[in-house]
C-alpha cells in the first residue's frame, strides 16, 4: 500500500450523528482514508458502537463519544474525550441534522427548537471548541452537511435551517482562514435516504429522478468521497462553498 492509499493518515476526525445513514458512511470513509475517527450520537448508542467496531475491524482507530450536540457542557466533555483517546481534532464533520416538514402554522415549538439547534447551534458550539486546536496546528477542515432543501421555500423549518447553515459556513470561512477551511455539502435526494419523505409527498422521489439531468440520485458513498476530497490538498483553496451534489436537479430552468 502506497502513501496515497491513506491520504488522511495522522489526522483525527470527529463525525456527529454517526450512528447511521450518511454520517456513518462518512465516518467509515474517513477511517478508510487513514484518519482516526471519533463517532458521536446521542440516541442510538448500540448502532454507534457497531460503526466504531466496523472501523476497528478494518484495522483503523475509532472511539465512541456520546453527547447531545446542543449542550455546550456535553460538547466540552466530548472534545476532551476525543483528544485523550485520539488526539486534537483536525477534521470536523457536522452530520447531525434532524428533519421536519410540518407547515409553519402546524409546527410545534419543540420541533422548531430541535431542528434549528441541531442544525445550527451545534455547528457554532463545536466550531468554537475545535477551531483553537486546529489553528494551533495550522490546519483544519470543517465540513457541514446542508441539503437541497435549502433551495426550497416549502420545506419548512428544515429548509430554513439548512439554508442558514450555508450562511454560517461562509461566515466561519471568513473568520477561520487561512489555517482552517469551512465548506458545506448540499445533497439532493439521496438514493438510500432513510427519510420517509413519501409521508409528506408520495411522488417526490420519482419526480426528483425524472427532473435530474443525470437521471439518478446521489449516493451516500459519493457524498462521503466528497468529504475526503475537501480534506485533500486538491481543495486547499476551496472555502466558504456549498457544494451541491444533486445531479443537476437545482439548475435553474426558467
Q: Report yes or no on 249 lying in a domain.
A: no
Residue 1: pLDDT above 60? no
| Residue 200 pLDDT level (bands cut at 50, 70, 90) | low
What is the domain count for the chain?
1
Q: Which domain holds residue 157?
A: 9-243
Asked, for residue 71, whether it belongs to a domain, the answer is yes
Residue burial 92-115, b: 16+ Cβ < 10 Å; e: rest: bbbbbbebbbeeeeeeeeebbeeb
Task: Give the active site residues.
Answer: 158
Cα 21-27-31 angle, rounded to 5 deg: 145
Cα 165 to its chain centre, rounded Å, is: 11
CA-to-CA distance for 45 and 76, rounded, in angstroms? 19
Summarize the confidence of residues 208-215 as an average pLDDT: 92
Per-residue pLDDT tens digits for 110-165: 999 999 999 999 999 999 999 999 999 999 999 999 999 999 898 999 999 999 99
In a domain, 253, yes or no: no
CATH number of the structural domain spanning residue 40 = 3.40.50.720
Burial tier of 30 (Cβ tally within 10 Å: 0-12, 13-18, 19+): buried
The model's pLDDT over 4-56, given as tens digits with 9 standing for 90+, comes to: 589 999 999 999 999 999 999 999 999 999 999 999 999 899 999 999 999 99
Please give the model's pTM, rounded to 2 decimal places: 0.94
Amino acid at each position: 500500500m502506497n502513501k496515497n492509499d491513506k491520504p488522511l493518515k495522522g489526522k483525527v476526525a470527529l463525525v456527529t450523528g454517526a450512528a447511521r445513514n450518511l454520517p456513518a458512511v462518512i465516518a467509515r470513509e474517513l477511517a478508510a482514508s487513514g484518519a482516526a475517527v471519533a463517532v458521536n450520537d446521542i440516541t442510538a448508542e448500540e448502532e454507534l458502537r457497531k460503526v466504531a467496531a466496523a472501523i476497528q475491524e478494518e484495522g483503523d482507530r475509532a472511539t465512541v463519544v456520546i453527547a447531545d450536540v446542543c449542550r455546550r457542557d456535553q460538547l466540552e466533555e466530548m472534545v476532551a474525550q476525543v483528544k485523550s483517546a485520539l488526539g486534537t481534532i483536525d477534521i470536523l464533520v457536522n452530520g447531525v441534522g434532524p428533519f421536519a416538514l410540518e407547515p409553519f402554522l402546524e409546527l410545534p415549538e419543540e420541533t422548531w427548537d430541535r431542528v434549528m439547534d441541531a442544525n445550527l447551534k451545534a455547528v457554532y458550539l463545536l466550531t468554537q471548541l475545535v477551531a483553537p486546536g486546529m489553528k494551533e496546528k495550522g490546519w483544519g477542515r470543517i465540513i457541514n452537511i446542508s441539503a437541497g432543501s435549502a433551495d426550497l421555500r416549502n420545506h419548512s423549518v428544515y429548509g430554513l435551517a439548512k439554508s442558514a447553515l450555508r450562511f454560517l459556513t461562509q461566515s466561519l470561512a471568513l473568520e477561520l482562514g487561512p489555517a482552517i477551511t469551512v465548506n458545506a455539502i448540499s445533497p439532493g435526494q439521496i438514493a438510500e435516504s432513510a427519510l420517509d419523505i413519501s409521508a409528506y409527498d408520495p411522488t417526490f422521489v420519482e419526480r426528483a429522478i425524472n427532473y435530474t439531468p443525470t437521471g439518478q440520485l446521489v449516493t451516500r458513498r459519493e457524498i462521503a468521497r466528497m468529504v475526503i476530497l475537501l480534506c485533500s490538498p486538491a481543495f486547499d483553496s476551496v472555502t466558504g462553498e456549498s457544494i451541491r451534489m444533486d445531479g443537476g436537479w437545482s439548475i435553474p430552468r426558467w
